[in-house]
Chain A
């Protein structure tokens, strides 16, 4: 199983490599581009954001400034108003005079209220004599007794010359809903003597105050107004209002003191951009808190971008997968086929298929195989022909010594007067030559070969005496089979001239029989024998003037192999002092 997997992997190595490289590069490129795009736009966005928001802050500052100016105008009017002063300082009187004071105060307040008419501001005045007046108590729903002990009053009286902006939250009660208000307060003080006779409060609902800047805010882009003590007195974020945030105050101070354009901060694990302005006359810090993640998230749908990138990458990968799969599949199939071909044989052509490139490659390979085949065939043929020619030449070289010696023997016979024997010898020689000097590739029947052998043996007996007897045992059914010319002769010759160097006489047997599908001829002698293994064939071509032709035993073996294949050939068994047995295997060829 694992091996199969490994095999598959090895076979698809190219594909895996290619795909991995593509995968990595596509993913890397898309990640890099996405990251750079997001980053660049974020930076650009932050820059523009900080620039526009500083302008926005300036506008908010202006609108808060004009609110402040109205309040300042109103406070000045109230400080200068005698009727208000008498309303707040007069201790007692009859109904009529009190009514007059109240009337005067009210007329005065009506005029003063018109100064701040543009805003929904409730004015409350309280006096040391316990009197109070409010234009709209619903804005800051406190009773007089609550107001007297209120921390805002305390602060106001502590700093009588300052107009203080403070935040107050009135818990919801039976008579009113919970109300967050911003209260600007100042003591009513005689300028000359410093006598404080009361206090005035300008209350504006936080939700009204918010309108001064709310339109400039958006999700993640929040405006916070902090007083000098770090309390958030107003914000478009309702959940922040009324909370103390000294950390934000410190940062806002830092921005103002170092006159920074903006400041990147990390608050509560959130990456934020702070822009701040200090409203000196109000002692308020105007802070623009931009939550980068939310603000940018609103502008850029990072998730959508990432999803789109992922989708594109997946599609690209799918396409790459399919295309490279097809490409490499045909290529690796080709490679696989080629590698097996070199191992086994050239007959297997590769399958032509796949992409244009691999098709061309396959075709080229097949064409190359064809050519290779042709060359090999041609080479084999040439070599065969050459060998044949060689053998033919050898065969046709009737050893001149043989002829000379034979003819010399005949001359002696004629001189001795044995004419008949001489004629017989001459006849044998003629027959032998007749059969030998024709085409070497020709085959002859066993009977003809037998005739040749008898003639050759006869001549040898004539020349060397008849000490070596030759006997022929040829199966009659073999007589008609065809064999190459002079195929047995070299072995008889070999037996004659090498088998009986020590022994002076002996026998040579020539046997021809059918053995299975083969024709077997054995030449057995009881001569000297040799120390050879069956595969070693004696080479007796050197210096043998007695030889009939140039064909040696080795040549015969090679010739048979060349003609009929590996299963045929010559094998020799020999034992010193016992004799030699040569076995020739030939195919059965009918004449």
Chain B
């Protein structure tokens, strides 16, 4: 019996040793995971054909040299992103939010000003002077650069050359025209071909914004906070032009993006004044190759300040102030912030034109586009980019837009333009207080 006791003790010790060994292993494994050599950087963006694709290219160029970072790109509708960001940031919890998020320039200030601490400054990550000037305003706040400018929203007028020719016009007739001239040609095209001249969504006044910015004007005054509607000559003329188009019955109406694209791909509409990001949608209809040209944006007929260049949309990348922000910033800086090669790829593979100036020196920027009959569209857009008048999108672009959409209908239905602008101004003033 006396001999058995030590044996038992030994047995028990072996068992405990085994058990504690197993525990140790688990702990080690846990620590390994938690300590995490790989950082996961989550990216939220919309539009799989454009933004998501571009981000994937950036990921591909970055990943080989950075095995310690995994980039996880998640597609979300733009509205969802806005909603989720607002919900998350206003509640003060950053849980569930991504590291990098794409924000449209029109909305950028509303986020930067409302949640100044929620974003991670990128001032040291890239050189702001390398990017188009007009992008810096919306993406910075209080002297700090928060957004890394991504795509250019520089506008042009895409036009079907074959329809033009049927109506007796050439592309040359479209160069540097006014909106009135534009409508005039449109009428002819409609008459000759039966095709509408332009496709518009009555619930999206993008074309009004394009016209206003071409004259250096916006829904809001310089301060970005006060509505600038009543007495805004550019805005007034833009609305009048809009009504002229409607009255001329040359407008195809669409209700959403897919119909918008379909109207052109099906050949139901002949021209589209919009941002350069529309290029992939046009080129998607391969059967229309060679039938399209891009000409400078028409300018407001009676506004001297108006130029043949404007901006529509365009967005930038922002880093949220959440764990992993340094890695996320480094990722952006190494790709969109400095990689010329990446921008060449974006142009050739997606047709996305960035706002990174050094990239314009690359071959891809100078190449002609066969779809557009060999036109050097990137060079053209780059030229127009430089001409874009700078405006302050402020914090309330979309709030004013919502008011304008309703008032536009009133105007179309016969309400006097000055009254329309007065009413809109009143509503905006009371809302933006």
Interface residues of A (CB under 8 A from B): 94-96, 98-103, 105-107, 120, 131-138, 143-144, 175-177, 311, 315, 318-319, 322-323
Contacts and interface: CB of A to CB of B under 8 A. Distances in A.
A315 B11 contact: yes
B118 interface: no
A99 B258 contact: no
A318 B77 CA distance: 68
A323 B4 contact: yes
Given A100-B412, A102-B202, A106-B202, A95 B258 contact: no
Given A95-B196, A106-B255, A144-B259, 8 more contacts: A95-B250, A96-B246, A103-B203, A107-B406, A134-B255, A134-B256, A144-B262, A315-B11
Contacts of A107: 203, 406
B256 A175 contact: no
Given A99-B200, A138-B75, A176-B48, A322 B259 contact: no
B259 A132 contact: yes
B412 A96 contact: yes
A132 B196 CA distance: 19
B202 A99 contact: yes
A103 B8 CA distance: 86
A99 B405 CA distance: 11
A98 B412 CA distance: 12
Contacts of B413: 100
Contacts of A177: 48, 75
Given A99-B253, A132-B259, A133-B255, A311 B48 contact: no
B418 interface: no
Interface residues of B, number: 38
Closest 3 CB pairs of A and B: A95-B251, A103-B202, A133-B255
Contacts of A132: 255, 259
A347 B388 CA distance: 128
Interface of B: 1, 4, 7-8, 11, 15, 48-49, 75, 77, 79-80, 196, 200-203, 245-259, 262, 405-406, 409, 412-413
B256 A99 contact: no
B255 A143 contact: no
Main secondary structure of the interface of A (DSSP, over half): helix
A319 B48 contact: no
A175 B48 contact: yes
Contact of B49 (A120, A175, A323): A175
B4 A100 contact: no
23 contacts: A95-B245, A96-B247, A96-B249, A99-B202, A99-B251, A99-B253, A99-B409, A102-B253, A102-B254, A105-B255, A106-B202, A134-B256, A134-B258, A136-B79, A137-B256, A137-B258, A143-B258, A144-B259, A144-B262, A175-B48, A175-B49, A177-B48, A311-B15
A184 B102 CA distance: 32
Contact of B249 (A95, A120, A137): A95
A323 B252 CA distance: 100
A103 B405 contact: yes
Contact of B201 (A102, A144, A318, A322): A102
A102 B248 CA distance: 18
B259 A138 contact: no
A100 B255 contact: no
Contacts of A136: 77, 79
B256 A133 contact: yes
A131 B255 CA distance: 9
- Highest count of chain A CB atoms <10 Å: which of B15, B203, B250, B253: B253
A322 B252 CA distance: 98
B253 A95 contact: yes
B255 A102 contact: yes
Nearest to B198: A95
Contacts of B80: 120
A102 B263 CA distance: 15
A98 B253 CA distance: 7
A357 to B, nearest CB: 13
A510 B79 CA distance: 152
A315 B8 CA distance: 8
B26 to A, nearest CB: 14
A232 to B, nearest CB: 25
B353 to A, nearest CB: 20
Contact of A138 (B77, B245, B253): B77
A126 B49 CA distance: 25
Contacts of B203: 102-103, 106-107
Contact of A323 (B1, B48, B79, B262): B1
Contacts of B75: 138, 177
A100 B258 contact: no
Nearest to A319: B4
B48 A99 contact: no
Contacts of B409: 99-100, 103
B39 to A, nearest CB: 24
Contact of B246 (A95, A135, A315): A95
- Highest count of chain B CB atoms <10 Å: which of A96, A311, A323: A96
A319 B10 CA distance: 13
A363 to B, nearest CB: 20
A322 B250 CA distance: 104
A100 B409 CA distance: 7
A555 to B, nearest CB: 64
Contact of A94 (B4, B8, B249): B249
A70 B79 CA distance: 20
Nearest to A137: B258
Contacts of B249: 94-96
A339 B208 CA distance: 121
Contacts of B257: 137
Contacts of A323: 1, 4
Nearest to B76: A138
Contacts of A131: 255
A319 B258 contact: no
A95 B247 CA distance: 7
Given A133-B256, A143-B258, A99 B4 contact: no
